[in-house]
A and B are shown apart, each in its own frame.
Chain A
Amino acid sequence: MMATKNKDQGWQAVVAGVGGQGVLFVTRMLALGAQALGGRVLISEVHGMAQRGGSVISHLKIGDFAGPLVAMGQADLLLSLDPGEAVRNFGFLRSGGAAVVNAPDAGFLSPEAQKALAAHGVRLICLDAAGLAAAAGAAKGANLALLAGAAGAGVLPFPAAQLKRVVLEASPATRKQVNQRLWEAGGPGV
């Protein structure tokens, strides 16, 4: 199930973005998804000043870990709601990890950067989550569309359907329909 080099060590992810984009929500959904499967979860969040439009990053570790922070070179997944924040945080990825970025294509990266990612065995998945969310009538929902995209791409340690159930259960009644639309916009089709 877990796509890491050391199965026993669990699964680690970094979620990046800009304050106000919903980084914390995405991280919590991943945590609930892991918990639903009986995984032990540790998260580190950013509160306070950075939430006012600054760079926001949260760490998620599922498995037998003691501390809440991911070390450079150890993340199985980098999920970034902003292309610039992805560039800033690529160093967290282990070789063979995956990056899911809210961008129409890899054009936000120089050819040299794309080469470096490929040489590190990183699977880069670009998804215009902002555009998809806007088309679904919820411009602020890019975070959920991107999460759905990551689930659909099979880079999470649990099935997409599982996560979708968790997301919809965690959504307040007034948001359920919108979130359902956003999830479908993101693409996993489950």
Chain B
Amino acid sequence: MKSTPKQQILLGNEAIGRGLVEAGLHFMTAYPGTPSSEIMPAVVRFGQEMATPPYCEWSVNEKVALETALAAAYTGKRSACAMKQVGLNVALDPVMSAAYIGVIGGFIIISADDPGPHSSQTEQDSRLLAHFAKLPVFDPDSPAQAKSLIAPAFALSEQYEIPVMLRPTLRVCHARQDIALKKPLALKRPANFQRDPFRWAAIPKMRLALHHKLNHKLAAMAQQVAADPALNTWHCQPLAKKAPLGILSSGVAAALARDVLAELGLPVADGPIPFLQTAVPYPLPLAPVERLLASCARVLVLEETEPLLELLSPQRERLWGRYSGHVPSAGELTPDALHEVLERALKQAKIKAPRPRGRLLAVPDQAPPRRPNLCAGCAHRAAFFAMRRVFPTGIYPGDIGCYTLGMNQGAVDTCHDMGASLTFAAALSRVHQLEGRAQPVVATIGDSTFYHSGTPGLLNAVHNGARFVLLILDNETTSMTGMQPTPETGLTADGHPGRRVDLLGLVRGCGVSQIEQADPYDLPEFFKVLRRAKRHAAKPEGGVAVVIARHACVAKDRGLAIPRRVPVTVLAPAPAAAPVFSPQLKACADCGRCVAICPAGALKRTGKARVKVDKKKCTSCRLCAAVCPTGTMVLEPARGCTACGLCGTWFACPGLARGADGQMSVDRAWCVDCGLCLHVCQQAAIVQSSQAAPTGQPA
């Protein structure tokens, strides 16, 4: 047991973890996802201060996490379950029933929203799902408030025997703030499951009774929340006289709006604008909202991301918000978005800002957009490159994780939700096969995402006779969200004994017969494995061919990922030249490989075992000559950079920089000496540094 310090600068997610531990948490589950991922590690870390640390597990997905923590709460344990907002969609099935059936021990569902969105597929507002499921929801404005709401949330949950939701947004989760720390509460709650099938296994008829009961609970909770001054903050005293404008707000928008008003010279503490912030938007605390409405001519509603307060408030015709068009209906409420909203509202309410914002500094220069990219040395990049080489006409359904960044290499055609690469691949190959057309389809999915929701799609595809290639990018970790262990490692969140779940065995268990494992760092071998998979999926009697691309994550352990350093050099520029079709050398097999693979679309089949080269379009990348099985396409390697750009578009490594003249060079600030790009350049312009000195000139 460690001792408790008094004050620390904590990340919002750490503050939430701290709050859970201080409230005597017994049982914690989560699936990682930005912006929620740091909650679990914080619970594990702070839990060390307790005599009995809470049980912690990374579950395989959010549905599993939610059910696991929920059942623990049935026994009287204080439980929590953390996820990102789209994870809540995965868990929605058990959430809906949980409101009816309820809990014994306090249960907090933490769903972290991402207005913007910055790292998510949607901007969805978890508070609306809480409303949909009929669960109370807490909406904190800061790390400090998030922490302070946890004890009241547990108390409410236990008083009404109902799960509650805590909905932090990205700007709470990834804000840092000084936080006062208290000693963790030691809460003795021996597991005590009371058999009550009429509740825990309620049949539909009983569910109706439970629904009535739930409605009564919500009405009582709304009254109780309304009467609690700690949950409804008046940032000023409401004026006796009628004010032209008031503000109703919750969450981060409430905090930022106060800062913006202060910057405009209208600090809310002494300003003329009554400002009510509620920490519980649902069930709506009606009395304070009615008091606000009674003291203001108009009320501006500021909340993220959807209009929940606005929907639930009385007298909607007097509200200014998303329904009235005063607040933008998409995007984050940044200080600048709020500034525009407030400026317009103040103007309409005829309130003058003493310090209007002056002209902003604007420079005429433009910075090129900088997109995120796979790390230098990432094995996924090599796998994607090989995939494009072997399946030049393929459709590439992708999935959710670091490897979505394969988009930079033209290797991701769809990205929808966790596990959709597989189901999309089954459908996209099927629709072509139904028409008798051969359309290669290669799905890519990461290991953690496959464990999360890959198996149902895979066994469905196998069972229904789908034929496509599934490339599982296995780096033995959940890298995008911060290296959480996957079931493959056998490692657990808090170090309790776990067991390895073998990926290969899992794939085999889904009924797949064609499975190969290969290391993308051995590119020539990886090509061969992909070709075998391609043949299996193409055969009418074939099926799903799975390739497990196995290599350690370079961001997690560079030494492990790059066991041998291979410094490379780009050789000095060489003149570009188009390939020549030379039927006199050997007979063209008219296979069309060169036409399919040409990134510039410069080659055309003529129908007479002859290929036409459009020299204007040709970038001289030499891929056609490299793939020609008969040697009819001829172009000698230039042994110097021809500025073709192939490595930029198909490999897209941050370690390779393209100059204004199109010439490539090694960017030493990013290059990690993985040596993978040696296999990319078909002009033999990228060479090992040790071999560059005697024969060529470095660029």
Contacts and interface: CB of A to CB of B under 8 A. Distances in A.
Interface string B164-189: 00000001001111100000000000
A9 B263 CA distance: 8
A117 B118 CA distance: 30
B364 A71 contact: no
Given A52-B375, A116-B364, A130-B669, A40 B335 contact: no
B119 interface: yes
B11 interface: yes
Contact of B360 (A9, A48, A50, A73): A73
Contacts of B358: 73, 95
B405 to A, nearest CB: 6
A126 interface: no
Contact of A48 (B35, B141, B258, B336): B35
A45 B263 contact: no
B405 A52 contact: yes
B258 A49 contact: no
A84 B366 CA distance: 8
Given A32-B9, A41-B9, A116 B361 contact: yes
Contacts of B178: 35, 40-41
A53 B370 contact: yes
What band does the interface of chain B fall in when counting residues whose beta carbon is under 8 Å from A? 35 or more
B415 to A, nearest CB: 12
B255 interface: yes
B176 A45 contact: yes
Chain A at the B interface: SS class: mixed
B262 interface: yes
A50 B142 contact: no
Q: Quick one: which of B9, B373, B481, B670 has the most chain A CB within 10 A?
A: B9
B365 A65 contact: no
A109 B366 CA distance: 10
A116 B482 CA distance: 41
Given A49-B34, A72-B336, A116 B259 contact: no
Given A31-B176, A43-B176, A48 B367 contact: no
A27 B418 CA distance: 33
A52 B171 contact: no
Given A41-B178, A48-B480, A53-B372, A66 B259 contact: yes
B91 to A, nearest CB: 20
A11 to B, nearest CB: 13
Interface string B491-521: 0000000000000000000000000000000
A149 to B, nearest CB: 18
A120 to B, nearest CB: 4
B339 interface: yes
A44 B361 contact: no
A74 B372 CA distance: 27
Given A48-B480, A84-B368, A69 B258 contact: no
Interface string B248-282: 00001011111110110000000000000000000
A139 B259 CA distance: 39
A113 B373 contact: no
Contact of B372 (A40, A44, A50, A116): A50
A46 B178 CA distance: 18
Contacts, number: 169
Contacts of B365: 87, 109-110, 112-113
A69 B118 contact: no
Contacts of B174: 44-47
A122 interface: yes
A87 B370 CA distance: 12
A84 B370 contact: yes
B199 interface: no
Contacts of B141: 66-67
Nearest to A9: B262
A46 B118 contact: yes
A50 B262 CA distance: 31
A66 B255 contact: yes
A90 B176 contact: no
A40 B174 CA distance: 17
Contacts of B369: 55
Contacts of B9: 28, 31-32, 35, 41, 43
B263 A44 contact: no
Nearest to A19: B372
Contacts of A9: 262-263
Interface in A23-65: 28, 31-32, 35, 40-55, 65
Nearest to B669: A139
Contact of B361 (A50, A71, A117): A117
Contacts of A113: 363-365
Interface in B1-39: 9, 11, 34-35, 37-38
B139 to A, nearest CB: 14
A68 B175 CA distance: 6
Nearest to A139: B669
A18 interface: yes
Contacts of B262: 9
Q: Quick one: which of B35, B252, B255, B259 has the most chain A CB within 10 A?
A: B259
B364 A67 contact: no
B171 A67 contact: yes
Contacts of A46: 118, 174
A70 interface: yes
A7 interface: no
B402 interface: yes
B370 A68 contact: no
B437 interface: no
Interface string B336-380: 100100000000000000000110111111111111111100000
A137 interface: no
B334 interface: yes
Contact of B481 (A42, A48, A88): A48
Contacts of B363: 87, 90, 109-110, 112-113, 116-117
A170 B174 CA distance: 20
B654 interface: yes
Contacts of A128: none
A48 B255 contact: no
Interface of B: 9, 11, 34-35, 37-38, 118-119, 141-142, 171, 174-178, 252, 254-260, 262-263, 334-336, 339, 357-358, 360-375, 402, 404-405, 480-482, 654, 668-670
Give the 6 A-B CB pairs with smallest separation, nearest first: A71-B335, A54-B372, A48-B34, A67-B256, A67-B255, A48-B119
25 contacts: A31-B9, A35-B9, A41-B9, A41-B178, A42-B175, A45-B176, A48-B35, A49-B119, A51-B372, A52-B373, A53-B370, A53-B654, A54-B372, A55-B369, A65-B259, A67-B171, A67-B255, A69-B334, A70-B335, A72-B339, A74-B335, A90-B361, A116-B361, A116-B362, A117-B361
Given A28-B176, A41-B176, A69-B171, 13 more contacts: A31-B176, A41-B177, A45-B175, A47-B34, A47-B174, A49-B119, A52-B373, A55-B370, A68-B252, A69-B334, A109-B363, A112-B363, A113-B363
